[in-house]
Amino acid sequence: MSAADLSTDYLGLSLRSPLVASSSPLTGDLEGLRRLEDAGAGAVVLPSLFEEQIEAESLEVDRMLETGAETFAEAPSYFPEFEDYQTGPDRYLELVTRAKQALEIPVIASLNGTTPGGWVEHARLIEEAGADALELNLYLVAADPALDATTLEQRDRELVAQVRAAVSIPLAIKLSPYFTALGHFARGLVEEGVNGLVLFNRFYQPDIDLERLTVTPELTLSRPEELRLPLRWIAILREHVDVSLAATSGVHRPQDALKALLAGANVAMMASALLRQGPGHLRTVALAMAAWMQEHEYESVRQLCGSMSHRAVPDPLAFERAQYWRTLQAYTGHFQV
Ligand SMILES: Cc1cc2nc3c(=O)[nH]c(=O)nc-3n(C[C@H](O)[C@H](O)[C@H](O)COP(=O)(O)O)c2cc1C
């Protein structure tokens, strides 16, 4: 049997490998991006440009313009200087353009926001800068007791619709696992015209420093066990939505990526593993995946994709509630005191 074909389709793009480098500091500069491409990444997702960064910049420009207008009668002559002003969002667009020039593989840009507004205009600028696709990260801690799930989901849908209307490049939505009825919400996003779902965003949990008595925003890298959550939902959603699916959270080893694809993901994304082991880890993972596929007589990733999804396995309930009871029955460990 010839070598396994690792190519896959994601968001309508043809990728040479299902291993994608997800947003992280590694994808934030050209050197990291080139190393990821050299190590075999199928695509790269740039770090997110945040709604807050865009809004802060526009407030700052407004403030400078107002100060100028009060001080000098001929203030409009200042405008060209402001246009050249190097800001976070401008630098981001520059990164998109330079990444596109430097790389052969698709470059996916990322926006992170929660409320519809003027900042969404940046989706269009990102498209103009040359991104092959856009990932929108809906990162929200639903902390306001006055807002119910329907209201929050409706807001998310409106935001997605706004971004969808702003761009014609493929659009993926990066979701958190904390939706009350994820299947229903995912279907709603597909109705808004998105091309893919990225499951799941990792929430960075604050911690408490017992000595200083301060709240510390702790950022810990993931562990492979964390793949279980996206694995279940990818297996379930694969049968219900006809869009690309990406697994993110806990993809560290070849077996993690293979499981994600078997469940129904088109790509397996990696951040923590690459930050820990370096971009070269992609090569090791791809080689071991290809060897496993050959041994198990899979010719291609396309053949593998979804072959163990919710409906494809003999016991679909294994992905649902029934498994909980069975798992408790089967537990043989000892309680630790
Ligand atoms: C240091 C760091 C920075 C990250 N920055 C972003 C970001 O800007 N936008 C985003 O959508 N995800 C970001 N992520 C999340 C990752 O893209 C990924 O979804 C998450 O870490 C889970 O995948 P992993 O288990 O492979 O790390 C970041 C993760 C890390 C560790």
pLDDT of 108 strictly over 70: yes
| 11-28: average pLDDT | 97
The model carries a pTM of 0.89
Alpha-helical segments (H) within 46-111: 51-71, 79-83, 88-102
Q: Which atom of ligand 1 is nearest to the CA of 272?
A: 27
Q: Rounded to the nearest 5°, which phi and psi values hold at 213?
A: 50, 55
CA of 24 to the centre of ligand 1 (A): 5
- 280 C-alpha to ligand 1 centroid (Å): 18
The pLDDT value recorded for residue 318 is 72
| Best probe residue, ligand 1, of 202, 226, 245, 285 (max atoms within 8 Å of C-beta) | 202
Kindly state if the Cβ of 110 falls inside 6 Å of ligand 1.
Answer: yes
Render pLDDT for 243-272 as a digit per residue (tens, 0 to 9): 999 999 999 999 999 999 999 999 999 999
Residues 237, 310: Cα–Cα separation, whole Å:
8
Residue 240 backbone phi and psi in degrees, to 5 = -110, -20
Tell me: pLDDT of 90 over 60. yes
Cα 207 from Cα 228, distance rounded (Å): 24
Longest Cα pair distance anywhere in the chain, in angstroms? Answer: 80
Cα 178 to the center of its chain, rounded Å? 15
208's enclosing H/E stretch is strand 206-209
For residue 284, name the pLDDT band (cuts at 50, 70, 90). very high
How far is ligand 1, taken at its centre, from the CA of residue 221, in Å?
A: 9
Q: What is the pLDDT of residue 319?
A: 73
pLDDT in tens, 128-181: 999 999 999 998 888 899 999 999 999 999 999 999 999 999 999 999 999 999
**How much is the pLDDT for 205?**
80
Cβ of residue 27 lying under 6 Å from some atom of ligand 1: no
Ligand 1 lined by 249 (C-beta under 6 Å) = yes
H/E stretch holding 186: helix 182-191
In DSSP notation, 101-160 reads: HH-SS-EEEEEE-SS-SGGGHHHHHHHHTT-SEEEEE-------TTS-HHHHHHHHHHHH
